[in-house]
Structure formats: C-alpha cells, structure tokens
Amino acid sequence: MPAEAWVALIIGLVTMVGTIVAASWRLSWQMAQALATFNAIGTQQATEITRMNTAIDKIEVAVAAIAVDRERAAAVERRVSNLERWYDEIRRGIGVTRQPLDQIS
C-alpha cells in the first residue's frame, strides 16, 4: 500500500475518532447541563414544598382554633338557652321546686 493511502487512511480514522470524541464530549456537556437544571428545579420544588407544608401547618392550627371556638360558642348557646328556659319557668312560677339550683348550669 502506498504511503499516500496510509496517510489518507490515518487522516480518515483520526477524523472519525475526533468526531466521535467531540460528539461524546458535547453529549456529556449537555447531560451535565440537564442534570444541573434538574437539580436546580428539584431544589426550587423542595423549597416550595417546605413553604407549602408551613402554610398547611398554619392552616391546621387555625382550623383547630376555629373548631374549639365553635364548640365554645355552642356550649355558651346551650347554656344561654337553658338559662332562658329556667328564667321563663321562674317567671311563670313553674319548676321552682322541680329542679335543684346546682343542675341549672
């Protein structure tokens, strides 16, 4: 085989290997960028999830406080109703002897 053929063959092989190496490096660089972007998005989402969990905790506390207040209001309403009924019975003279005073509340 003549020397020119060897030179052409080597140049062709070097070009193909160089193209493959360059493509591999480019693909590796793009994968690294994609992973960095993926990690950045994951970090942002983790931060947002933490904020959402904090907001949910605050909402849970508020709902619990509302439930306690609602129960207190219902208890006060029952007590007022009992007192109104007792007042009406006393005003009419009914129930004075029927119910002891310690059972009225």
pLDDT digits (tens, 9 = 90+) for 48-104: 999 999 999 999 999 999 999 999 999 999 999 999 988 888 877 765 555 555 565
The 10s digit of each residue's pLDDT in 1-23 is: 788 888 889 999 999 999 999 99
105 pLDDT more than 60: no
> Is pLDDT above 70 for 28?
yes
pTM: 0.50
- What pLDDT is stored for residue 78 in this prediction? 94
Residue 101 DSSP symbol: G
Structure tokens that stand for 31 in this block: 């994968």
The pLDDT assigned to 88 comes to 84
Q: Are 96 and 89 in contact (CB under 8 A)?
A: yes
